[in-house]
């Protein structure tokens, strides 16, 4: 096995993080940068905190044409893509179970969580296969296995489909030199999560700590006693895309502090 340099192990690698301007995506982008990679991030809006070392390309990936434009821009600017992190995920549909949801709710959720990664994979894979080299990560969720029907029905179904698709894709392209992996986080303590807790607390006239406990209870408890920090998820992804994980492919890694109660 070649000698590995953990500090600069992604030097020379061209990487793209979707939804890389906020939350977990931002932490992943910073981790890749720290490992020496060239980092491209995409989202609908420019990052609030500019980082001149990252290349921001605007896109709304729920639209097929924006996905195609992104693929063309990355390949024409850099000539290739080595590592694709499909981090974008969205759950904005109303709570209230099946009857509260329209076709539009289902379609918009499937566009962002399933079809956006499917389209980007399709756009970037030919040059990865040609070079017999590349890593694709799909960020799913424990809700792919632990759905909460009252609040996130289409989100959970779309993540289950993403996990299944990721495995199929791995079976197809691993023999051609491309590793494909899924990471299914549990609750992550992003800025958006913190704001959401504040909102729950305000609406229920409770403290943020009580709201936090309420969310953990709804998940059936988190044995670790807290959500993951975005940097903890990013650290794991930094490992998965590195040469240290050269034999890993086709696996769905659950990273949830023990939340899912089954094996």
254 bridge partner residues = 184
43 near ligand NAP (CB under 6 A): yes
Q: Is 165 a catalytic residue?
A: no
Supply angle C-alpha 104, 112, 201, rounded to 5: 85
Among 13, 22, 31, 119, binds ligand NAP (CB under 6 A): 22
Tell me the β-bridge partners of 85.
17, 137
Q: What is the token pair recorded at 250? A: 């086709």
Report, in Å, the least distance between residue 30 CB and ligand NAP.
Answer: 13
Q: Using CB under 6 A, pick the residue from 34, 164, 193, 231 that binds ligand NAP.
A: 193
CB of 185 to ligand NAP, least distance (A): 4
Binding mask 67-96 for ligand NAP (x = CB under 6 A): --------------------xxxx------
Cα 112 to Cα 200: distance, rounded to the nearest angstrom:
25
**Catalytic-role residue among 78, 149, 155, 165:** 155
Q: Helix, strand, or coil here: 242?
A: coil
Residue with tokens 């977990």: 24
Is residue 44 a contact point for ligand NAP (CB under 6 A)?
Answer: yes
Q: Which residues pair with 55 in a beta bridge?
A: 40
Task: State which of positions 204-263 bind ligand NAP (CB under 6 A).
Answer: none
Among 83, 169, 188, 197, binds ligand NAP (CB under 6 A): 188
Placement of tokens 């995920």 in the chain: 89
The answer to whether 163 and 213 have CB atoms below 8 angstroms apart is no
Measuring CA to CA, which residue among 244, 173, 246 is closest to residue 4?
Answer: 244
Q: Is residue 55 involved in binding ligand NAP (CB under 6 A)?
A: no
Instruction: Tell me which residues in 109-168 interact with ligand NAP (CB under 6 A).
Output: 112, 139, 141
The Cα 45–Cα 36 span in angstroms is 25
Determine if 19 is a binding residue for ligand NAP (CB under 6 A): yes
Give catalytic residue positions.
Answer: 155
Residues that bind ligand NAP (CB under 6 A): 19, 21-25, 43-45, 59-62, 87-90, 112, 139, 141, 185, 187-188, 190, 192-193
């Amino acid at each position: 096995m070649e000698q590995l340099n953990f500090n600069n192990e992604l030097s020379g690698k061209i990487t793209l993080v979707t939804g890389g301007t906020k939350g977990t995506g931002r932490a992943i982008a910073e981790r890749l940068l720290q490992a020496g990679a060239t980092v491209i991030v995409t989202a609908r809006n420019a990052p609030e905190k500019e980082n001149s070392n990252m290349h921001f390309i605007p896109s709304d990936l729920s639209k097929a044409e924006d996905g195609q434009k992104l693929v063309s821009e990355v390949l024409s600017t850099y000539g290739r893509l080595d590592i694709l992190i499909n981090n974008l995920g969205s759950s904005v549909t109303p709570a209230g179970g099946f009857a509260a949801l329209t076709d539009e709710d289902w379609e918009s959720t499937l566009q962002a969580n399933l079809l956006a990664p499917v389209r980007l994979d399709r756009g970037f894979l030919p040059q990865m296969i040609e070079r017999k080299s590349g890593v694709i990560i799909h960020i799913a969720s424990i809700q792919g296995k632990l759905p909460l029907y009252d609040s996130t029905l289409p989100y959970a179904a779309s993540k289950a489909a993403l996990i299944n698709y990721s495995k199929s894709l791995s079976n197809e392209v691993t023999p051609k030199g491309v590793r494909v992996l899924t990471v299914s986080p549990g609750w992550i303590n992003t800025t958006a999560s913190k704001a959401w807790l504040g909102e729950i607390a305000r609406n229920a006239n409770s403290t943020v700590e009580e709201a936090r406990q309420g969310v953990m209870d709804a998940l059936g408890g988190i044995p670790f006693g807290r959500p993951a920090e975005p940097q903890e998820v990013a650290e794991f992804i930094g490992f998965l895309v590195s040469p240290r994980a050269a034999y890993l492919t086709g696996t769905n890694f659950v990273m949830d502090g023990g939340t899912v109660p089954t094996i």
